[in-house]
Structure 1
Amino acid sequence: MLNNNVIITLTDKNEEMVVMGRGIAFQRKVGEKIEIEKIEKTFVPESGESIETISTLFKKIEPEIIEISVNIIKYAHDILKTKLSNNIYLTLTDHLNYAIQRTQEGIEMKNPLTWEIKKFYKKEYGIGLKALESIKTKLGIIMNEDEAASIALHIVNAEQDGQELGTTIKMTEIVQDILTIVRLQFGTVFDEDSFNYTRFITHLQYFVRRMLEYVEASPSDDFLFDQVKIKYPKAFECTNRINDYLVSKYQTTLSTDEQVYLTIHIQRVTSEQKTK
């Protein structure tokens, strides 16, 4: 037993797993059966994790913080309607514990990507704000909005099959750099509520993720490439600038197909501004 709300038990296959639930271990002794109806979440450690790591983490964290973390994750599931990596129960709980300790000591950490996170991951940032509200209500601790952005990054990681936090940060930076290139070339201010802008951001996020994971490009369509190059010369020129940036900073070259898709998205999102 780790605390009243978290215990370690065995699966049907005799594997150790973590079981969570409000008061699930209250007045229980080692070896006693648990009440199934009290189980809210179970998970088996993923590769690279050990039950000892989980045990050490949850033993040193106050039950109230674990409860806040579990509730935030449940809220994230309800809002995002997507599967989250089990790692989030460890990474987010550990982060919240450390962030709360820092705040109590008067140490505030600035997140340099707060502005980008608010733009690119609006739902996740909203979950971060909900977390701050919960911490204030339950613990009386007021945290700055940069912490909402940091919480959002952990949620984004969990959506991306538990990828490294550094990868998510790098993805966010590259997307922002590409948007800056487009904005400067066309001298435009994006309508961040438009469908074309949202679709453009989504495309960039998936493209950058593929790039960082070194996913091989699909066969190219040279005819479509030539057509787009002729029809949208300014957007194509912007794509070339993006390619130069990626080559210079990440030693990565856009595939022919990616140049086509990127040019079309740039044309749509910039034409929309001109129309307005």
Structure 2
Amino acid sequence: MVINQIINNNIAISIDSQGDEVILIGKGLAFSKKKGEEIDNKKIEKRFYLEDKGLYAKFKKLLQEVSVEEINIADDIISLARRELKKELSESIYISLPDHISLAVNRIKTGLNVKNGLLWEIKKLYKEEYSVAKKAVQLINERFNIELGDDEAGFIAFHFVNAQLNSGMNTVAKITKFISEIINIVTYQLKMTIDEESLSGFRFITHLKFFANRMFSQEVNESSDDPFLYEVVKERYATAFEIAQKVKKHINLQYSYKVSDMEVTYLTIHIQRLLERKN
């Protein structure tokens, strides 16, 4: 492949057979090279191609600010997450994760430890992402000979969640706090803890995640209300319906968000499933 642009000694940009730019990374790959010269294929360790042109431009800028090692470990972690989570991750994670890792490595080297105020919620609500993030922290610690802990695993888990929802980190924090609030209301009313390993618990929390994402992204729920079903669950599942109404009131007051009758219907059904498991 021929060099089209040199970022530094270890990173160059070339053009593939389709006429698209591809970022090539490898130790000494562009050392003493000039634009138009051939690249030694044996030195190419990683290739990056992002379909989103806006993200691609940001990624090129990021390459000038973080180290090759940080880019490489981020790519390894993203590959690990895709394998273990078996979920699609937005290309945005190629920007957010290496940038975060770079900041985390610099923080720990200067003795600055940052606490994750939502760590407990992250462990409870995003168990799979947190489990992968723990492995990611281990990889980072081994690669850079540092000691990042559970708080950092929580932050990295956030990046996995963010890449699935394709929303900002601030939104993910809001979603996590929101879900925790709703769970607290429901568990208090039911006088029971929610078993997230059970099918009913998993379904309930998954429903809350998607509902919260719609709410904070201001996405319109196109599901039309079903007055008949609403009345049926109201009459048949009176206790669950009453709890759903308390949840609705909380959301209205705290988030100024109008919860539809259909959403109350869904909440009632999920809460009823939790009730049935209790009994």
- Corresponding residue for residue 168 of structure 2: 164
- Give the total of aligned pairs: 271
Provide structure 2 residue ranges, at least 5 long, that are not aligned to the other structure. Answer: 1-5
Report the counterpart of residue 3 of structure 2 in structure 1: none
Match of 1:115 in 2: 120
Post-superposition shift, 1:214? 2.9
> 1:9 aligns to what SS in structure 2?
strand
SS in 2 for 1:102: helix
Shift of 1:40: 4.0
Question: Which of structures 1 and 2 has the larger relative contact order (alpha carbons within 8 angstroms, sep 6+)?
Answer: 1
Cα displacement (A) at 1:55: 3.7
CA contact (8 A) 1:24 1:38 kept: no
In structure 2, the CA distance between the partners of 1:126 and 1:65, relative to structure 1 (3 Å rule), is same
Residues 223 and 36 of structure 1, relative CA distance in 2, 3 Å threshold: farther
Q: Which one of the candidate residues 176, 179, 183 is aligned to 1:175?
A: 179
Residue of structure 1 equivalent to 2:249: 244
Measured after TM superposition, the shift of residue 116 of structure 1 is 1.1
Distance 1:126 1:28, change over 3 A: farther
Percent identity (aligned): 35
Structure 1 residues 114-133: aligned runs within 5 Å? 114-133=119-138
Q: Which of 221, 230, 239 in structure 1 is aligned with 2:235?
A: 230
Letter in 2 for 1:193: E
Q: Which moved more, 1:99-108 or 1:209-218?
A: 209-218
In terms of mean alpha carbon deviation, does 150-159 or 2-11 score higher?
2-11
What is the TM-score with the length of structure 2 in the denominator?
Answer: 0.88
Distance 1:80 1:37 in 2: 31
CA RMSD across the alignment = 2.4
For the residues of structure 1 that align with 2:54 and 2:60, how far apart are their CA atoms?
Answer: 15
In structure 2, distance between residues paired with 1:81 and 1:29: 40
> What is the SS of the residue equivalent to 1:8?
strand
Please say if residues 55 and 92 of structure 2, whose CA atoms lie closer than 8 Å, have aligned partners that are also in contact: no
Looking at structure 1, the residues matched to 135 and 258 of structure 2 have their Cα atoms a distance apart, in angstroms, of 40
TM-score (norm 1): 0.89
1:44-73 CA deviation, whole Å, 9 max, x = no partner? Answer: 37354463x434422332222222111101
Partner of 1:78: 83
1:186 correspondence with 2:190: yes
Deviation for aligned residue 1:93? 0.4
Deviates more, 1:138-147 or 1:10-19: 10-19
Query: For 2:52, which of 42, 46, 49 is the aligned residue?
Result: 46
